Structure 1
Amino acid sequence: MAAKDQVESWTEEAICPICLDFFTDPVSLECGHYFCRSCITQSWDREGRNSCPECREEFTDRILRVSRALARLSEKARTLSLNQTGKESKLQCEKHQEELKLFCETDKTLICLVCAAGREHKSHSFMPVDEAVEIYKGQVKSTFESLTEKESDIQEEEQQQKENISGVQEESHNLQSQVTSQFAELHQILTEKEQCLLGDIREEEAKIVKTMEKNLQEIQENLNSIQEELSKLQEQIDHKDGVMFLKG
């Protein structure tokens, strides 16, 4: 663990503070800080000024000093990092720090050779990891094929259900159109019937009113005649001269 920490410590020195990766074509500035050549030039172009991203010191000229020693160190750090990653990719037994080469069928777990010889896995059934991978991949493949077939059936069922829904919606739309059309026809018939009945009523009204107005006119003429007669009689009654009254 200590050795790993030491490796990580010195490899950090080979990392560019801009791209956070191992140096590529490392160069140093006048202030002494190191960067990848492409990283620092792009930074200057982006900022529009020649300044150090670490200490912010500004420079009149773009003076870049190549560091071959740091380039070699970065290359070694990159190689070491790749090797370390390759080693760590192999699973190891947490108890014995040995490579997990066996698969315990009884416990359904990966174990190392030391585990297989121990009391914990006594009388258990083992097989090499490659063989176990092949067997269980076959099981997974079988399950995958079964689920694929089931997925296909469900997709067909889904499509059928969509078609059924579409059919119901289309039938409903057609029925709504029929109802709307029929009620429009009924409305037209009722409107025509309404207008016909209203016309009959108005015609009958005109006929009755005409007769009644004629009667009214006769009544008014009789009334006017009576009122004229009454007016004449009133004038006779109002005469104060008896001789003239009798003469009249």
Structure 2
Amino acid sequence: MAFRCSFEDDLSCPVCCDVFINPVVLSCSHSICEACIRRFWESKRLKECPVCRRRASSDRPPLNLALRNLCDTFRQELSRGPSFEGEGLCGLHKEKLKLFCVDDQEPVCLVCRDSRKHANHRFCPVEEAAADNKEILKDALQHLEEQRRELELFKEFFDEDDELVKSNAQDAERLIQEEFEELHRFLRDEESSRISALREEEKRRRRTIKQELEETSGRISSLSSAIRDVEEQMNADDVSFLQNLKASLQRARISEPPPEPRPR
């Protein structure tokens, strides 16, 4: 407990003596609540530190984010304090929570009521606040119950619509599958018929090409033989060449008509 009090003192503003709210750090390294330093400067008309009286180097000192986060965490821990420090006790002052702050909507003790944090706030006994707020919550709860019943009716409609949409979709899917299966069957038959026709046409054209190749190869062979005979006669001695000149000329004058182009 002594450690907590010491730690709480370290987290308290030197001006308002409460736990820091949005603390700013001055150039002298002292931290003050943002609202407290503004009020202090307005009253003093001098921008100096309330602790060491050193002049501030900036009109807008930066937030001490690390200290602010630490103070927020400390408040959260204190708000859970009664569960282990005593039911109905103030986490800051360890006094009974006898009053309810209407402005902050939280139970407070008598010391909290007189603190600067709750200055000019409205208070009422916790019993009255609890009774009044229970009535408010009762009305709100009744409204929530009505909303839930309405939503449950809507949910039933949605469930029926969902089943109808699901059934219609299944019927449509089955119909689509049947139609496409019929289409696939037709396409498979058409594919088979066309491939058969294509293969027959391939065989016919290849037979024709084979015949033309054989004829062309025969003509090439005949011309090659004539060329060899003429070349041999041209390389023979003059008497032999002249003796066979007539036959050589006939061989050289063989004319093979060029093949006619075949459409592709």
Give the greater-gyration-radius structure (CA): 1
- TM above 0.5, yes or no, is no
* TM-score, scaled to structure 2: 0.33
* TM-score, scaled to structure 1: 0.34
Between the two structures, name the one with larger relative contact order (CA 8 Å, sep ≥ 6): 1
